[in-house]
């Protein structure tokens, strides 16, 4: 399927256009290179759409590669979730899936090459000492006392590291660059460390693992990547990216280009913080519908098309900015307003009896599944003497601005008749338990014959045929626009981010609603059936754009 045809141009496309026109490249090869240490979030969706979209636009190829150099934080669960998310968004990678661990032997060989050239050395400073020697942003670093070891000694020590003769933290391999560099990343960065950890792809074959910055550029080169696209926080790392490739015997030298990462209001994009939300129990898992993860958005009812459209609208620039949550919500509203079938659900039910209908009256009414799309068909709705309406849709007294049911006044039942509230019944605490009404049998699909004007429309469900359901109303996970800047991002959590309504009732057609299928609950919002619940549960995807009186569809 084509996801890229209508994407606007950007500075990266302009670079690629120039590269193809000049003959620098004959074709385009990109990659999406996630670390499998968590679930993907909406920020990764931007990168997915960019990398796969560019490859598709230029009839090139895009690899899915897992940069799996940190086995302690990685798992097969994360690998599988990432594959699922990429495909759900509508993209397919070229050929087989790639892993940086596929190249561990070659990476080791390139590290040996750097040692042989006098450009890498085994350091036995502790991690704390290495940090101390590195200096600060305003003061240069100091050379390690092990920096000038002979090549032969470094080769022997590196072999011993591979053979498991060093404990973790007692030795590492560092690139020999410049401890006085104004770029911290160039101050003899660590490129291999000892880790006795089981790897999800290579098992226990290795006890030394290459660092990300060393691995990433070589993996790009081995795969023939033409344009290595990453976010702005890797801008300084480009110097190390180029240094490694310039100093090993490898033919391909990809170029790295940086674009601004996605910052979204009322959430966090740090996988570390997202993981903390999960492990500390603030959410129910990586796919909690309040999470900005792709799996969380999917469970909440977001569609692939809406996320792709969001990524298209925000564009690709070098300018850091924060996107309003409303832009993401607008994308899903636009999608669902066009494509979601309509249904009726009463979230906070109160009993209503139509007294001039006979006991046991049952009538099947027809309602369109979409007001503007007759091709989506109709559904049957049972109409009975007792129905349920939302408690917010009735008042004993109200001013003229209130367009719902008022004692002594009329209102139309959606897809049904005009009713008039005659009296109410209350419990000992004064709460309304039943509303008694009459109905005009000559108002199905038409106005009252005598010209009475009925302005309000309310939704309803048959009391005897309605299906009990739980409805979960989701709000923003955090109560402040920039929780990452708070003293404690956990303290910024929104205590009202989830409200559970256990006594909702939905129309019978929703009893067999498929998981993650979105519906517009008329006058309430867009909802989808929860994919993780055995019973009937609906999650709020997004509220209607306007108030109930303005949102008739």
DSSP 270: -
The one catalytic residue in 13, 46, 174, 271 is 271
Q: Whole-angstrom Cα distance, residue 549 to residue 458?
A: 10
Closest to 414 measured CA to CA, from 471, 365, 453, 450: 365
Reply yes or no on whether 261 is catalytic.
Answer: yes
Beta-bridge partner residues of 227: 255
Write the Ramachandran bin of 512: left for phi over 0, alpha for psi from -120 to 50, otherwise beta: alpha
H or E segment and range at residue 275: helix 271-279
Q: Which strands sit side by side in the sheet containing 172-175, from one edge to the other?
A: 120-123, 172-175, 190-194, 208-210
Closest alpha carbon to 110 in 188, 205, 214, 209: 214
Angle at 414 between CA 409 and CA 415, to 5 degrees: 125
Active-site residue among 13, 31, 35, 298? 35
SS3 at position 465: coil
**Is there a catalytic annotation at residue 273?**
no
Q: Which residues contact 203 (CB under 8 A, 6 or more apart)?
A: none
| H or E segment to which residue 30 belongs | strand 29-32
Task: Measure the CA–CA gap between 125 and 131, rounded to whole angstroms.
Answer: 10
User: Residues 84, 162, 195, 261: which is the catalytic one?
Assistant: 261
The answer to whether residue 532 is catalytic is no
For tokens 């032997």, what's the residue?
Answer: 105
CA 13 to chain centroid:
25
Paired with 528 in beta bridges are 518, 539
Q: In degrees, to the nearest 5, what angle opens at C-alpha 345 toward C-alphas 344 and 346?
A: 130
Closest among 244, 327, 289 to 471, alpha carbons compared? 289
For residue 132, give every residue at least 6 positions away whose Cβ sits within 8 Å of its Cβ, in sequence order, or none: none
Is residue 343 within 8 Å of 507, Cβ to Cβ?
A: yes
Side-by-side strand order, sheet with 461-462 = 457-458, 410-413, 418-426, 432-440, 349-354, 386-390, 461-462
Distance CA 332, CA 304 (A): 10
Active site residues per annotation: 35, 261, 271
């Amino acid at each position: 399927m084509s996801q890229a045809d209508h994407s606007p141009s950007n500075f990266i496309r302009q670079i690629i256009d120039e590269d193809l026109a000049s003959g620098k490249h004959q074709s385009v090869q990109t990659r999406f290179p996630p670390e499998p240490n968590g679930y993907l979030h909406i920020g990764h969706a931007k990168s997915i759409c960019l990398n796969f979209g560019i490859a598709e636009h230029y009839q090139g190829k895009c690899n899915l590669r897992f940069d799996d150099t940190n086995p302690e934080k990685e798992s097969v669960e994360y690998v599988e979730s990432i594959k699922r998310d990429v495909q759900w968004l509508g993209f397919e990678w070229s050929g087989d899936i790639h892993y940086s661990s596929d190249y561990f032997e070659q990476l080791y060989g390139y590290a040996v090459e750097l040692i042989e050239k006098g450009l890498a050395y085994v350091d036995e400073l502790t991690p704390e000492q290495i940090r101390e020697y590195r200096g600060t942003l305003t003061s240069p670093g100091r050379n390690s006392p092990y920096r000038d070891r002979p090549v032969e000694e470094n080769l022997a020590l590196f072999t011993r590291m591979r053979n498991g003769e060093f404990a973790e933290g007692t030795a590492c391999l560092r690139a020999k660059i410049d401890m006085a560099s104004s770029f911290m990343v160039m101050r003899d960065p660590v490129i291999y460390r000892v880790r006795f950890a089981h790897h999800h792809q290579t098992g226990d074959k290795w006890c030394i693992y290459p660092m990300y910055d060393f691995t990433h550029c070589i993996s790009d080169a081995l795969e023939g990547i033409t344009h290595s696209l990453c976010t702005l926080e890797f801008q300084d790392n480009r110097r190390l990216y180029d240094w490694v490739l310039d100093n090993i015997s490898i033919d391909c030298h990809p170029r790295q280009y940086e674009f601004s990462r996605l910052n979204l209001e009322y959430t966090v994009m740090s996988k570390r913080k997202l993981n903390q939300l999960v492990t500390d129990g603030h959410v129910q898992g990586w796919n909690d519908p309040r999470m900005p993860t792709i799996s969380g958005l999917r469970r909440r009812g977001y569609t692939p098309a809406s996320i792709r459209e969001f990524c298209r609208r925000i564009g690709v620039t070098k300018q850091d900015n924060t996107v309003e949550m409303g832009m993401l919500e607008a994308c899903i509203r636009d999608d669902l307003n066009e494509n979601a079938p309509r249904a009726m659900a009463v979230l906070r039910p109160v009993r209503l009896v139509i007294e001039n209908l006979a006991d046991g009256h049952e009538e099947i009414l027809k309602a369109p599944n979409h007001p503007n799309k007759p091709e989506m068909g109709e559904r049957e709705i049972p109409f009975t003497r007792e129905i349920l309406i939302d408690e917010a849709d009735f008042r004993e007294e109200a001013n003229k601005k209130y367009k719902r049911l008022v004692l002594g006044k009329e209102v139309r039942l959606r897809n049904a008749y005009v009713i008039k509230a005659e009296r109410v019944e209350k419990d000992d605490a004064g709460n309304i338990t039943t509303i008694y009404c009459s109905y005009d049998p000559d108002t199905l699909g038409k106005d009252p014959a005598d010209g009475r004007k009925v302005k309000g429309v309310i939704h309803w469900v048959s009391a005897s045929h309605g299906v009990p359901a739980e409805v979960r109303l989701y709000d923003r996970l955090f109560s402040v626009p920039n929780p990452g800047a708070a003293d404690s991002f956990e303290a910024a959590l929104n205590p009202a981010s989830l409200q559970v309504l256990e006594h909702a009732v939905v129309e019978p057609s929703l009893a067999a609603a498929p998981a993650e299928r979105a519906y517009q609950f008329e006058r309430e919002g867009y909802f989808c059936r929860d994919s993780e619940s055995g019973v009937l549960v609906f999650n709020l995807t997004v509220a209607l754009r306007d108030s109930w009186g303005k949102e008739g569809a």
